Structure 1
Amino acid sequence: MDTSDTTDTTDTSDHSGDRPEPAAGTGRRGWRRWAMDTRPLRRPAYRRLWSSTIVTAVGSQLTAVAVPKQIYDITGSSAWVGYAGLAGLVPMVVFALWGGAVADTVDRRKLLLVTNSGIAVTSLLFWLQAVTGLESVAVLMVLLAVQQAFFGLNSPARNASIARLVPEEELPAANALGSTVMQTGLVAGPLLAGALIPVIGLPELYLIDAVALCVTVWAVVRLPSLPPLSGSAARRAGVREIAAGFRYISGHKVLLLSFLADIIAMVFGMPRALFPQLAAETYAPYGEGLALGLLFAAIPIGAVVGGLFSGTFSRARRHGWMVIGAVTAWGAAVAGFGLSRNLWIAVAFLAAAGVADMVSMVFRGAILLSAATDEMRGRMQGVFTVVVAGGPRLADVLHGTAGSAFGPRAAVAGGGLLVVALTLVLAAAVPALRRYRV
């Protein structure tokens, strides 16, 4: 037995800081055991943070649709839309890493106030350039870069704060609540944007997002102060602190393995780059437009369904096994999708993959919050943000290349099977993730 990893499974008892005490009488019977676990909503501070997410999850997707639509309207080029994605990705990655270090050295509530206000101001500037008819791609890219930089600073602080607002046993439930809202926004936001653009136009989409962000700012104002629990406030948030975060990950195998599991799942198993080709070729008899819409919507819909029934898994204590099982199920479902010629069976496999992705998100997030000390949580969430944003983009390149070489169905099925194989090898070779439990 490899005993060198045992600290990863037990060294969490002194990391709670001022986390609330668990609530008494949380047992549930009958159908309620299957439904979403809402215990974290009993905590007023978490409830405020979560409630604000309901509004902004949809509002942010309005801007996510409006920016590429406006760029395409100006240029008539999909290449420029792709360049805009890169313009937003680079600052988000850089500032997420730095923002994680900042979140470990300052009052996270104050950082959330500054960054949410910054995101709201950029949404207002998006509205201003649109309503004045500026039609400048350069201005749009600069605003997008600034907004994503603020998001990069915001996300680690927001996610790291959750562990200070709910007790450790409720972290999976809190992650399920937050992830379900975000996945619902991924479905409802683009649909709402598509319906509203012909009616009210692009400028008003930006304005709606800006107003929605004001709700978030107000919710953050009402949060308790979240200063560092130790003497970390005396440190500067620089390159040395960012490097210390990576050293911390490498020294705690359960954290490293949780990141590796997500990278395996997303890089080798996210087939969205091949959706247009599959819709045009394999599923063309069903209608290319219908097929494309269903393929893109299936994974988020499955994730929402998984969140609504998260009571089935959010109380599990073997978090490591839940991650291993979820990533393996994701890979198997993606492989099944790649082998399917029937559109509805394919959509069912993608929805199943969405459920598995929700389970994986819930327990990877819980591991990051419970297995790391509070002074490191911001940096862990910064790396998490980079992995979540960068993995699917690497997958787009990999699957696009493999699809051109081997065909889209073979590339998708092969990627899913590779996810299953790599996950099982990782779990067998390094026992830290298997052993981890709350």
Structure 2
Amino acid sequence: MTTNPSGPPRAGLFQDRNFKWMLSGSIISMLGDQFTIIALPWLVLMMTGDTLVLGLVLGVMSVPRAVFMLVGGAVVDRYSPKRVLMWTKHVSTVLLLALAALVFTGNISTGSLSLLAFGLGLAMAFSIPSGTSLLPHVIPVQQLQAANGIVLGLRQLSMFAGPLLAGGLIAAFGDGHSERVSDTRGLGIAFLFDAVSFAVSAWTLSRVRTLAPADRTGAPAGQAVWQSVMQGLKWCWNDRDLRTCFLYWSAVALLITGPIQIALPVLASRLPGSSAAGFGLLMGAHGAGTLLGMGVAGARPGMRARNLGTTLLLVDGVVGLLFIPMGLVTALWQGASLLLAIGLLSGFMHVAVFTWIQRRVPPAMLGRAMSIFMFIFMGLAPISAAVTGWLMRGVTLEQVFAVSGGCLVAVVVVAMATSRIRDISEAPTPAAGS
């Protein structure tokens, strides 16, 4: 497949000062996020050893993220992605500094942890739609595909390196104890690292100069926030392909996010030589696979099984099959191998799907459309996590993974047989929402 001659080369992006500032801040922030992703569930498990409590704490973080994410998308369309993202970075810095201080001093409790998790989740409700909507405001549209490949590829690199670094750091500095919590110093340093990463990325974001907005008519200044939210929901619902994909991805998210958030830390804690480093290795393997998959997608952008939709369904079906035996692994290398393969397949599709949505949706609606997309995978997490945590009190780890993977395969089969997803292509779109 040939390169589009009308689009500037990918190398030209690195001559764009705004893109370089945005990218550098994104890398720092994404790496810091991985430290909290590893440290937070490990802290809860060390404090309580209860999967239901783990699910509830993660749910406390996810509920405000879910409830306010659509509002966040409307606010982004009203005030600009950069402005909203800057405020979320400042708020997250303060919250993570407080969390690190409580861990260092041994004063952390499930109550204070839940309160801080709620605040972080609320900040994420605004940072997610603003972060995913910023790129089209920074670089020209003809560079969007290449820029997405770079940004998402580096994100996956952080998902590979971050968990390994976080797990190693917690293990290396984790000889301090506070009551029943081990790894105290290492956990505190992990949260502190994430706080610093937010502060630094806020400074780099301040150096970014956005392009003149092409069209802000989708979020008029006099329109109420809830009216703006409903307008975005109506627009996406009226786009038949977006509606179909969003409903399908909702089912996928409910089946996968809970086991990843709840069952994987439990799996790591039960394997021989279990530690935060082992959990980091599992998550790092998934990140490495996703990065490799994105590399394959970049090298072979036209590699499809018939079209985008059919390829998406086939990839998800194989992911479901790989998920089924996850609970049977008895060594870290086995779990890491399965997660590497799952990440490879997921990463292959990631850039294409992300760019498809960004190109399909006009700039005035992009914040709201991306908030709906991210709500599906992150906003539905509390439901999936809470159900998984509750189920694991009465069923085995093997059953959780087997049922989750089997249901995903069933959803794919139904979608392939009855929905129009299999016919979705990357061809230029009609006027959506009409």
CA 1:149–1:392 in 2, change beyond 3 Å: closer, same or farther? closer
Asked if 1:434 corresponds to 2:425, the answer is yes
Aligned-partner residue type, residue 154 of structure 1: S
- Tell me by how many angstroms 1:196 deviates: 1.9
Q: Distance in 2 between matches of 1:196 and 1:368?
A: 37
Aligned-partner residue type, residue 359 of structure 1: F
Report 1:392-407 matches (<5 A): 394=383, 397=387, 404=395, 407=399
Asked if 1:422 corresponds to 2:422, the answer is no
CA contact (8 A) 2:66 2:375 kept: yes
- Tell me by how many angstroms 1:249 deviates: 0.7
CA 1:103–1:110 in 2, change beyond 3 Å: closer, same or farther? same
CA 1:305–1:79 in 2, change beyond 3 Å: closer, same or farther? same
**166-175 vs 422-431, which moves further:** 422-431
Q: Distance in 2 between matches of 1:115 and 1:336?
A: 36
Q: Of the candidates 44, 62, 78, which is equivalent to residue 35 of structure 2?
A: 62
CA 1:128–1:417 in 2, change beyond 3 Å: closer, same or farther? closer
Q: Distance in 2 between matches of 1:420 and 1:437?
A: 25
Q: Distance in 1 between matches of 2:350 and 2:90?
A: 27
CA contact (8 A) 1:319 1:363 kept: no
1:332-369 residue CA offsets vs partner (Å, 9 max, x unmatched) = 24314536978878755543332221233212211221
1:267-305 residue CA offsets vs partner (Å, 9 max, x unmatched) = 346654655788899xx8xx5859977655443221011
**188-197 vs 373-382, which moves further:** 188-197
- 1:230 paired residue number: 216
Q: Distance in 1 between matches of 2:305 and 2:280?
A: 34
Q: Distance in 1 between matches of 2:285 and 2:255?
A: 18
- Residue ranges of structure 2 left out of the alignment (5+ in a row): 174-184, 430-434
- 2:359 paired residue number: 370
Q: Of the candidates 201, 206, 210, which is equivalent to residue 221 of structure 1?
A: 206
- 1:111 paired residue number: 84
- Report the RMSD for the aligned CA atoms in angstroms: 3.7
Q: Distance in 2 between matches of 1:213 and 1:136?
A: 24
Q: Of the candidates 254, 267, 270, which is equivalent to residue 241 of structure 2?
A: 254
- 1:18 paired residue number: none
Q: Distance in 1 between matches of 2:256 and 2:52?
A: 25
**Identity across matched positions, percent:** 23
Q: Which SS does the other structure have where 1:104 is aligned? A: helix
Q: Which SS does the other structure have where 1:369 is aligned? A: helix
- 1:208 paired residue number: 193
- Residue ranges of structure 1 left out of the alignment (5+ in a row): 1-20, 27-36
**215-224 vs 293-302, which moves further:** 293-302
CA contact (8 A) 1:337 1:413 kept: yes
TM-score, reference length from structure 1: 0.77
CA contact (8 A) 1:179 1:358 kept: no
- Tell me by how many angstroms 1:104 deviates: 0.6
CA contact (8 A) 1:98 1:238 kept: yes
1:33-57 residue CA offsets vs partner (Å, 9 max, x unmatched) = xxxx666444332222122122122
Q: Of the candidates 121, 125, 132, which is equivalent to residue 94 of structure 2?
A: 121
TM-score, reference length from structure 2: 0.78
Q: Distance in 2 between matches of 1:294 and 1:123?
A: 24
Asked if 1:49 corresponds to 2:22, the answer is yes
Q: Which SS does the other structure have where 2:98 is aligned? A: helix
CA 1:366–1:235 in 2, change beyond 3 Å: closer, same or farther? farther
**92-101 vs 175-184, which moves further:** 175-184
- Tell me by how many angstroms 1:221 deviates: 0.6
Q: Which SS does the other structure have where 2:108 is aligned? A: coil
Q: Distance in 2 between matches of 1:93 and 1:319?
A: 34
CA 1:176–1:164 in 2, change beyond 3 Å: closer, same or farther? same
- Tell me by how many angstroms 1:256 deviates: 1.8
- 1:82 paired residue number: 55
Aligned-partner residue type, residue 425 of structure 2: R
CA contact (8 A) 1:305 1:355 kept: yes
Aligned-partner residue type, residue 338 of structure 1: I
CA contact (8 A) 2:289 2:344 kept: yes
Q: Distance in 2 between matches of 1:261 and 1:114?
A: 33
- 1:17 paired residue number: none
- Tell me by how many angstroms 1:100 deviates: 0.2
Report 1:13-162 matches (<5 A): 23-24=7-8, 26=9, 40-75=13-48, 77-162=50-135
1:16-41 residue CA offsets vs partner (Å, 9 max, x unmatched) = xxxxx9644x3xxxxxxxxxx66644
CA contact (8 A) 1:22 1:167 kept: no
Q: How many residues align?
A: 401
Q: Distance in 2 between matches of 1:44 and 1:91?
A: 35
1:390-427 residue CA offsets vs partner (Å, 9 max, x unmatched) = 45555554798699499457525523432431342355
